[in-house]
A and B are shown apart, each in its own frame.
Chain A
Amino acid sequence: MSTQKAGERLELLQGTLDLLILRTLIFGPQHGQGIARAIQQTSEEELLVEHGALYPALQRLEDRGWISAKWGTSANNRKARFYSLTAGGRKQLVKETAKWERLAGAIGRILGRGAEES
């Protein structure tokens, strides 16, 4: 979606959160708390996600049709809203991942070069 590029650049963090959510859901449906937990754990607690901030992102992804949601029962028998990746979401994940890698690579190169010069 070309119209969103400008927004993403401005809100890098938000875009990143979207990517992380999509990535987490690749292993199967998960509820909000599970997603927050998973991001925290897989990033070895490096990324501290405020759980409440997750929801606007989830809502946005759902609105765009990249994830879908329905109420279900968690492992410990609690009612929870489970999110799963849609086909569109999968495509988006691939795209976002490639973009992120390019971005990370580019920033890494700049930072690396900067370090040499100093």
Chain B
Amino acid sequence: MFRRRRKTSDFSAEAEAHIQLEIDRLQESGLSAEGARAAARRAFGNVTQAQERFYEGGRWLWWDGLWQDVRFGLRMLAKTPGFTAVAVLTLALGIGATTAIFSAVYAVLLKPLPFRDSGRLVFIQKKNPPRGWTRNNVSAAEILGWRDQSGAFEDVAAFKQYSCVLNDAAEPEESPCEVASSNLFPLLGATPAMGRTFSGDEDKEEGPRAAILSYGLWRRRFGADASAIGRAIEVNHASYMIVGVMPANFSHLYASPYGTVPAMWLSGMGLSPTDTSNDSWGIGRLKPGITPRQAEAQMDGVSVRIEKMDPNLKGWRAELMNLRTMVSGDTRPALMVLMVAVIFVLLIACANMANLLLARGASRATEFAVRNALGASEGRMVRQLLTESLLIALAGGVLGVLLASWGCKGMAALAPQFLLHAAPDMAGGAADLNVLGFALFSILATTFLCGLAPALRSARPELTDALKEQGRGVGQSVRSRRFRAALVVWEIALAMVLLVGAGLMIRTLVELGRVSLGFNPARILTLRVPLSGDRYRQDRAQADFWERLTAAAQALPGVETASVSRGLPIDGWAGQFFTTADQPNPPAGHVPDANYGVVSPDYFHTLQIPLRRGRRFNEHDNETGDGVVIVNEELARLHWPGQDPLGKRLRPGSPNSGSRWLTVVGVAGDVRSWGAASDVHAELYVPYRQYPWLMPPQYLLVRTSSGLKPDGLISAVVREVHRIDAGLPVADIATMEQIAREPMVEQRMVMALMLSFAGLALVLSALGTYSVLSYAVAQRTREIGMRMALGAQRGNVLRLVVSGGVRLAVLGIAVGIVAALALTRLMTDLLFGVGATDPVTFGAVTAVLGATSLAASYIPARRAINVDPIVALRHE
């Protein structure tokens, strides 16, 4: 309807022409020039009125009004730069923070994965509820059974994680890779950037060996050369043909567990219906209309049938997870808490702005009264005021979006690594249209939320009062004052909730830090050396390598001890079965398991794990010595409660594995192998010189002498590795402290963000208190002067003002406590060692908030006691 706008000048010309034509006609019929002009004008009527009607008839009036409002609003805002700056900045912080968090929520939880119809993709794992195991690998037998018999899937693809050593040319390199079934790529709807994906023929274990490169590996190792396709690549000393390259980012976006980012995919998955080893993951495409829960129910029927094949499958049931959820990990609670927190910040910013607008409205009361008296309607004035709010919100929003992109980068720096892989857009800020839309929405919501009430209030001036008191700073009505006080109470209450949230996170991190991990992570450098190829086919060759490496590392200057292990505390878990001599034939499904550490004698020394009973390993615990094992306290407690574990016997593997019996020679202190927040699990250690191992050692651990930083040793240690074998890659170089910190990254991120939100809330609510009280003091200058003239002491006046602030604070804190009690329960998942209603936190936060409110009231109170009674009484 706005399609064309006829200019008013065009209409004027038409009216002019009309009159001219009429004059011509009248003159023709014999009138004089003068008479014709007069008659024509008479016939036309009021030209100006016609023009006005034409103008109002046009649908542009509204826009013109808006434009007028905008221009006027800009002038008014420019007149009070202080107010404008504070208001814009407040909103910019609120909108910026909200947009940043929303962009993370969107990237991590909402944005569909870039796969065909990705809502139907599920990640397939299995669980064993009676034994408390979840998210376990599945076997080929189960994958085939579920795919073909459950009727829930269009297709199921399988892959297993693998470690690939690229030993051709240049520097040897070890990268995570996956052996994938050929249908994985079509199932996802993912096409390679170049070349092709696997053929059905290549699925066979003995079929042609093919490899697909990730974009990253292709660029790094092949310099993005298109001729890489068709070339051979040597992986784990076997030759594969490169058949394709996947597009950038693909690796991150399908659900590799534990956030592993595969560098390459290999063919030869060879799914066999009789293979019951649990070494694969599944990705399924559900048939349309089937929910993951329905599919699970259908799959359970299949599981019941196939668990008869192998006792180890007993009790295991499929566990499906939406692929998006799987990729994002367990970040939902953290992000939800942050989203709620940041919306609170926005609400506080809003309340603050409403407060500012009200104060401003009061000082402009005369202006509104005059406009009202001159005929401006209430609606017209509300519109004017809302336009001003919109201008502030827009400016704040634009600034906020800029701040958000900056904030997103900060957040990305704090975020756990896997999250960045799973949601590469997380640091993108409002670059996404959906996020930008959200920012726009929050701008509009802010405008109405903070602008409407003040606008309605200001546009309804008490005309005569306002005009009477013209030029003297018009008093606010009682209702208006109450409203402003209510806003401040609301701000304090919201700030209280945020502070409690931040306080609980701080307490959580303190508690986590206080937990004894069971070892000392300080001054330890760790690195992994994957041994592969013919040279290390023999266990003995591997053991020799580790022995030489330990000795070499030990001899380096600045090294206190060095040792070898399979896995590291916190970083990896290698659960395996074992059988005790006391119960050699446990019922199927009840075979005990433990984390296996394959270690060198100095391991306990290096990590400073205390020995509770018996002895450590020594150099005699080798190939020729008796089989020995050290168990942790938890394992001893579980299997030999109240007995002496020393001398007890157990053997690795499942009951029928036939491995030799090992004698318990020591009991080591418990180590929190899953991080500070988790429980202690049964663990056992075997010496790395005794074979056969279930799993070979992989890591070198080096403890530096006190005062030396462990990362200073990296190049020296790597040099030693290459001195022994130049063809070996060195991977996962890290300090033990980094590894120990990793499980807390998420809590740290939440804590840092919550703390900044809470700080912002605190400042904003203090500003609110301050502005309301200073206004009240300004209003009551005369009263205060009178009181002082009549003999009131400065203390009395001080108390008068401060008590106003205290009342607001007490009310706000009371409301805040109630709200916090209700809301912090949402955080339970993120907390450790502290309850959601922790009285210490609540107490501390109350004190902080109370003190801040007092400080905010004190400044206006100072101003009040410095009132000179003479000046004050002349004030009005």
Report which A residues bind B (CB closer than 8 A): 31-34, 36-37, 50-53, 55-56, 59-60, 63, 74, 76, 78-81
Which segment of B12-20, B377-385, B684-692 sits at the interface? B12-20
- Inter-chain contact B14/A52, CB cutoff 8 Å: no
Chain B residues whose C-beta falls within 8 Å of the C-beta of A53 in the assembled complex: 45, 50
- Inter-chain contact B44/A50, CB cutoff 8 Å: yes
- Inter-chain contact B58/A59, CB cutoff 8 Å: yes
- Inter-chain contact A78/B14, CB cutoff 8 Å: no
Q: List 7 A-B contacts (CB under 8 A).
A: A50-B43, A51-B45, A55-B53, A56-B57, A60-B57, A63-B59, A74-B21
- Inter-chain contact A52/B17, CB cutoff 8 Å: no
- Inter-chain contact B22/A52, CB cutoff 8 Å: no
Q: What distance in Å separates the Cβ of B434 from its nearest Cβ neighbour in chain A?
A: 36
- Inter-chain contact B15/A52, CB cutoff 8 Å: yes
Q: Is there a chain A Cβ closer than 8 Å to B11's Cβ? A: yes
- Inter-chain contact B14/A81, CB cutoff 8 Å: yes
Q: Main SS of the interface on chain B?
A: helix
Closest to B20 in A: A78
Annotate B36-59 by CB proximity to A: 1 below 8 A, 0 otherwise.
Answer: 000000011111011001100111
Chain B residues whose C-beta falls within 8 Å of the C-beta of A51 in the assembled complex: 18, 22, 43-45
Cα distance A51–B49 in the bound complex, in angstroms: 12
Cα distance A33–B18 in the bound complex, in angstroms: 5
Chain B positions 1-36 with a Cβ under 8 Å from a chain A Cβ? 1, 6, 11, 13-15, 17-22, 24-25
Since A53-B45, A80-B17 are in contact, a sample of 12 more A-B pairs with Cβ atoms closer than 8 Å, ordered by chain A residue number, is A31-B18, A32-B17, A37-B25, A52-B45, A52-B50, A53-B50, A55-B14, A55-B54, A79-B13, A80-B14, A81-B14, A81-B17
B-side interface size class? 20 to 34
Q: Which of B21, B24, B47 has the most CB of A within 10 A?
A: B21
- Inter-chain contact B18/A32, CB cutoff 8 Å: yes
Select which of B6, B13, B21, B53 is within 8 A of A33 by beta carbon. B21
Chain B residues whose C-beta falls within 8 Å of the C-beta of A33 in the assembled complex: 17-19, 21-22, 25
Q: What distance in Å separates the Cβ of B44 from its nearest Cβ neighbour in chain A?
A: 4
Closest to B3 in A: A63
- Inter-chain contact B14/A32, CB cutoff 8 Å: yes
Closest to A62 in B: B6
Q: What distance in Å separates the Cβ of B521 from its nearest Cβ neighbour in chain A?
A: 76
Chain B residues whose C-beta falls within 8 Å of the C-beta of A32 in the assembled complex: 14, 17-18
Chain B residues whose C-beta falls within 8 Å of the C-beta of A56 in the assembled complex: 50, 53-54, 57
Cα distance A25–B548 in the bound complex, in angstroms: 107
Cα distance A59–B6 in the bound complex, in angstroms: 9
Cα distance A50–B22 in the bound complex, in angstroms: 13
Closest to B53 in A: A56
Supposing A50-B44, A51-B43, A52-B44 touch, asked if A34 and B21 sit within 8 A by C-beta, the answer is yes
Chain A residues whose C-beta falls within 8 Å of the C-beta of B50 in the assembled complex: 52-53, 55-56
Supposing A52-B49, A55-B50, A56-B57 touch, asked if A76 and B24 sit within 8 A by C-beta, the answer is yes
Q: Main SS of the interface on chain A?
A: helix
Cα distance A34–B24 in the bound complex, in angstroms: 12
Cα distance A79–B21 in the bound complex, in angstroms: 9
Q: What distance in Å separates the Cβ of B826 from its nearest Cβ neighbour in chain A?
A: 49
Q: What distance in Å separates the Cβ of B41 from its nearest Cβ neighbour in chain A?
A: 10
Q: What distance in Å separates the Cβ of B474 from its nearest Cβ neighbour in chain A?
A: 42
Chain B residues whose C-beta falls within 8 Å of the C-beta of A55 in the assembled complex: 11, 14-15, 50, 53-54
Cα distance A37–B19 in the bound complex, in angstroms: 12
Supposing A52-B44, A52-B46 touch, asked if A78 and B54 sit within 8 A by C-beta, the answer is no
Closest to B22 in A: A33
Chain A residues whose C-beta falls within 8 Å of the C-beta of B58 in the assembled complex: 59
Q: What distance in Å separates the Cβ of B11 from its nearest Cβ neighbour in chain A?
A: 7
Q: What distance in Å separates the Cβ of B574 from its nearest Cβ neighbour in chain A?
A: 75
Q: Which of A31, A55, A76 has the most CB of B within 10 A?
A: A55
Cα distance A78–B19 in the bound complex, in angstroms: 11
Chain B residues whose C-beta falls within 8 Å of the C-beta of A52 in the assembled complex: 15, 44-47, 49-50
Q: What distance in Å separates the Cβ of A45 from its nearest Cβ neighbour in chain B?
A: 12
Chain A residues whose C-beta falls within 8 Å of the C-beta of B43 in the assembled complex: 36, 50-51
Chain B positions 57-76 with a Cβ under 8 Å from a chain A Cβ? 57-59
Q: Which of A51, A56, A74, A81 has the most CB of B within 10 A?
A: A51
Cα distance A33–B492 in the bound complex, in angstroms: 69
Chain A residues whose C-beta falls within 8 Å of the C-beta of B49 in the assembled complex: 52
Closest to A49 in B: B43
Cα distance A78–B27 in the bound complex, in angstroms: 15
Chain B residues whose C-beta falls within 8 Å of the C-beta of A78 in the assembled complex: 17, 20-21, 24
Cα distance A81–B6 in the bound complex, in angstroms: 12
Cα distance A81–B25 in the bound complex, in angstroms: 17
Chain A residues whose C-beta falls within 8 Å of the C-beta of B45 in the assembled complex: 50-53
Cα distance A31–B49 in the bound complex, in angstroms: 20
Chain A residues whose C-beta falls within 8 Å of the C-beta of B18 in the assembled complex: 31-33, 36, 51, 80
Chain A residues whose C-beta falls within 8 Å of the C-beta of B24 in the assembled complex: 76, 78
Cα distance A94–B388 in the bound complex, in angstroms: 49
Chain B residues whose C-beta falls within 8 Å of the C-beta of A59 in the assembled complex: 6, 11, 54, 57-58
Cα distance A13–B49 in the bound complex, in angstroms: 19
Cα distance A76–B27 in the bound complex, in angstroms: 13
Closest to A51 in B: B44
Q: Which of B1, B13, B45, B58 has the most CB of A within 10 A?
A: B45
Cα distance A109–B338 in the bound complex, in angstroms: 75
Cα distance A81–B12 in the bound complex, in angstroms: 11
Chain B residues whose C-beta falls within 8 Å of the C-beta of A31 in the assembled complex: 17-18, 21
Chain B residues whose C-beta falls within 8 Å of the C-beta of A81 in the assembled complex: 14, 17
Chain B positions 106-164 with a Cβ under 8 Å from a chain A Cβ? none
Q: What distance in Å separates the Cβ of B416 from its nearest Cβ neighbour in chain A?
A: 58
Supposing A51-B22, A51-B44, A55-B11 touch, asked if A79 and B17 sit within 8 A by C-beta, the answer is yes
Closest to B44 in A: A51
Chain A residues whose C-beta falls within 8 Å of the C-beta of B11 in the assembled complex: 55, 59
Chain B residues whose C-beta falls within 8 Å of the C-beta of A63 in the assembled complex: 1, 59
Cα distance A56–B14 in the bound complex, in angstroms: 12
Cα distance A63–B20 in the bound complex, in angstroms: 25
Chain B positions 190-223 with a Cβ under 8 Å from a chain A Cβ? none
Closest to A53 in B: B45
Cα distance A78–B14 in the bound complex, in angstroms: 11
Cα distance A51–B39 in the bound complex, in angstroms: 12
Cα distance A56–B45 in the bound complex, in angstroms: 13
Q: What distance in Å separates the Cβ of B236 from its nearest Cβ neighbour in chain A?
A: 76
Cα distance A74–B627 in the bound complex, in angstroms: 118
Cα distance A50–B11 in the bound complex, in angstroms: 17
Cα distance A79–B43 in the bound complex, in angstroms: 20
Chain A residues whose C-beta falls within 8 Å of the C-beta of B59 in the assembled complex: 63
Q: What distance in Å separates the Cβ of A11 from its nearest Cβ neighbour in chain B?
A: 13
Which 9 A/B pairs are nearest by Cβ-Cβ distance? Answer: A52-B45, A52-B50, A33-B21, A51-B44, A50-B45, A33-B18, A81-B14, A80-B17, A32-B18
Cα distance A72–B24 in the bound complex, in angstroms: 17
Cα distance A74–B25 in the bound complex, in angstroms: 12
Chain A residues whose C-beta falls within 8 Å of the C-beta of B13 in the assembled complex: 79
Chain B residues whose C-beta falls within 8 Å of the C-beta of A79 in the assembled complex: 13, 17
Chain A residues whose C-beta falls within 8 Å of the C-beta of B6 in the assembled complex: 59
Closest to A57 in B: B57
Chain A residues whose C-beta falls within 8 Å of the C-beta of B44 in the assembled complex: 50-52
Cα distance A60–B56 in the bound complex, in angstroms: 11
Cα distance A90–B43 in the bound complex, in angstroms: 28
Q: What distance in Å separates the Cβ of B33 from its nearest Cβ neighbour in chain A?
A: 15
Q: What distance in Å separates the Cβ of A86 from its nearest Cβ neighbour in chain B?
A: 15
Q: What distance in Å separates the Cβ of A1 from its nearest Cβ neighbour in chain B?
A: 14
Closest to A35 in B: B18
Closest to A76 in B: B24
Q: Which of B19, B47, B57, B59 has the most CB of A within 10 A?
A: B57
Chain B residues whose C-beta falls within 8 Å of the C-beta of A74 in the assembled complex: 21
Q: Which of B6, B20, B44 has the most CB of A within 10 A?
A: B44
Chain A residues whose C-beta falls within 8 Å of the C-beta of B14 in the assembled complex: 32, 55, 80-81
Closest to A59 in B: B57
Closest to A50 in B: B45
Chain B positions 477-516 with a Cβ under 8 Å from a chain A Cβ? none
Cα distance A37–B44 in the bound complex, in angstroms: 11
